[in-house]
């Protein structure tokens, strides 16, 4: 029996639409992500449990875990039945890489119990393919950090899909999910098909500056460059009072604030724990819509997917 954990992630990291992704872990030691337990079996079996298991489809063949097993078996040209328990600890449509967590944990677990027939690049490629079937297009900004850890720069080169870039160890990442769902596919539909030259130049300048600041460890410059011109101006309309909340969060000491993935989760960055706690408390009181919503103060998770238990 093997148990695998895959962490939540912040897609885009503000400045890097479909190009950057960051794995996160709560500073209090909680597991913010999905767990998959697997063992060989006479027939394929799937049991869903966890806080958000009620959001999963009743028909197992519509479950992403089944799709992972089915596609993996097609790739290796073998049909090996397994028994899987999915512990769904992330809400679907949260903007925290919920589907990516399930995909990464499941594929790593299956690969391991089948004696690792796929290498890292082949696994990551399959993860991106399955993620694309859910969101409408192949993208790696959630699966890559959840799988490999850290902040990942998505290259999608023939030889290298992604590479890790340096992060700031002094940064606290506060994530707040309001307790409502937002479809990734729907959040993509709201984006324009074309952008002006001016927007493309500004976005490229900020992304390049952020990468440079990360490597040269210029925290102030990196935070200043976390401006988003591609998705935030449009997706902010789908989030409750996003612009007003962003302004307030910065008044409380956040050096940056943005939408996590396609939302509705938002993230803020603070360089000290006191401000992080103030922001966390304010978000708990003002951003959460119901009792299922949550706020976590996090570090960057440098480990990525891993065996636990």
Mean local confidence (pLDDT), 300-305: 98
pLDDT at 266: 97
Mean local confidence (pLDDT), 279-298: 96
pLDDT at 275: 98
| Residue 300 reports pLDDT greater than 90 | yes
Q: Where are the beta strands (DSSP E) in the chain?
A: 2-7, 9-11, 20-26, 33-40, 45-49, 82-87, 151-154, 162-165, 172-177, 256-259, 266-270, 294-300, 306-307
**Residue list, annotated binding site for ATP:** 91-101
Q: Do 130 and 179 form a contact (C-beta atoms < 8 A)?
A: no
> Residue 274 — left, alpha, or beta (φ > 0 → left; ψ -120 to 50 → alpha)?
alpha
CATH code given to domain 172-299? 3.30.70.890
Q: Which of 248, 158, 136, 188 is nearest to 12 (CA)?
A: 188
What's the distance, Cα to Cα, between the start and end of the chain in Å? Answer: 10
pLDDT at 256: 97
Q: From CA 47, how far away is CA 272, in angstroms rounded? A: 41
Residues 62-90 have pLDDT tens digits of 999 999 999 999 999 999 999 999 999 99
Q: What strands, in cross-sheet order, belong to the sheet with 306-307?
A: 45-49, 82-87, 33-40, 2-7, 306-307
Residues 160-177 have pLDDT tens digits of 999 999 999 999 999 999
| Residue 28 reports pLDDT greater than 90 | yes
185 vs 304, residue with greater confidence: 304
Domain positions in the chain = 2-166+303-307, 172-299
Considering the chain, what is the average pLDDT of its residues?
95
Looking at domain 2-166+303-307, its CATH class is alpha beta
SS3 at position 101:
helix
| Residue 200 reports pLDDT greater than 90 | yes
**Residue list, annotated binding site:** 91-101
Mean local confidence (pLDDT), 237-241: 87
Q: How deeply is 28 buried, as exposed, middle or buried, from its count of CB atoms within 10 A (0-12, 13-18, 19+)?
A: exposed
pLDDT at 102: 97
Q: Do 304 and 145 form a contact (C-beta atoms < 8 A)?
A: yes
pLDDT at 269: 98
Residues 103-160 have pLDDT tens digits of 999 999 999 999 999 999 999 999 999 998 877 778 899 999 999 999 999 998 878 9
Whole-angstrom CA distances from 151 to 9, 138, 222, 251 are 9, 19, 13, 26
Name the band, by pLDDT with cuts 50, 70 and 90, for residue 309: confident
Q: Do 95 and 13 form a contact (C-beta atoms < 8 A)?
A: no
Name the band, by pLDDT with cuts 50, 70 and 90, for residue 58: confident
Beta-carbon contacts of residue 101 (< 8 Å; ≥ 6 apart): 6, 7, 8, 9, 33, 34, 90, 146
Name the band, by pLDDT with cuts 50, 70 and 90, for residue 240: confident
Q: Where are the beta strands (DSSP E) in 111-220?
A: 151-154, 162-165, 172-177
Q: Which of 122, 152, 127, 151 is nearest to 138 (CA)?
A: 127
DSSP track, 244-300: HHHHHHHHTT-SEEEE-TTSS-EEEEESSHHHHHHHHHHHHHHT--STT-EEEEEEE
């Amino acid at each position: 029996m093997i148990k695998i954990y895959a962490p939540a992630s912040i897609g885009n990291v503000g400045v890097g639409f479909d190009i950057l992704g960051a794995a996160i872990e709560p500073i209090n030691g909680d597991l913010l992500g999905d767990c998959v337990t697997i063992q060989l079996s006479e027939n394929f079996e799937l049991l869903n449990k966890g806080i958000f298991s009620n959001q999963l489809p009743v028909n197992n063949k519509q479950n992403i875990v089944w799709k992972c097993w089915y596609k993996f078996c097609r790739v290796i040209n073998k049909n090996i039945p397994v028994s899987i328990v999915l512990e769904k600890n992330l809400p679907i449509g949260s903007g925290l890489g919920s589907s990516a967590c399930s995909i990464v944990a499941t594929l790593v677990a299956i690969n391991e119990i089948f004696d690792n027939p796929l290498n890292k690049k082949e696994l990551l490629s399959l993860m991106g393919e399955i993620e694309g079937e859910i969101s409408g297009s192949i993208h790696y900004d959630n699966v890559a950090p959840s799988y490999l850890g850290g902040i990942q720069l998505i290259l999608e080169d023939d030889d290298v899909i992604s590479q890790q870039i340096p992060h700031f160890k002094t940064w606290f990442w506060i994530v707040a999910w309001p307790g409502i769902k937002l479809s990734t596919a729907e959040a993509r539909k709201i984006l324009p098909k074309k952008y002006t030259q001016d927007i493309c130049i500004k976005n490229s300048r900020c992304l390049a500056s952020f990468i440079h600041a990360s490597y040269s460890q210029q925290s102030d410059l990196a935070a200043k460059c976390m401006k988003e011109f591609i998705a935030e101006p449009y997706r902010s309309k789908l989030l409750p009072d996003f612009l007003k909340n962003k302004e307030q969060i910065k008044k409380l000491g956040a050096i940056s604030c943005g939408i996590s993935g396609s939302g509705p989760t938002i993230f803020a960055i603070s360089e000290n724990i006191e401000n992080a706690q103030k922001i966390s408390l304010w978000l708990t009181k003002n951003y959460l819509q119901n009792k299922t919503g949550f706020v976590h103060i996090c570090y960057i998770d440098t480990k990525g997917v891993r065996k636990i238990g």
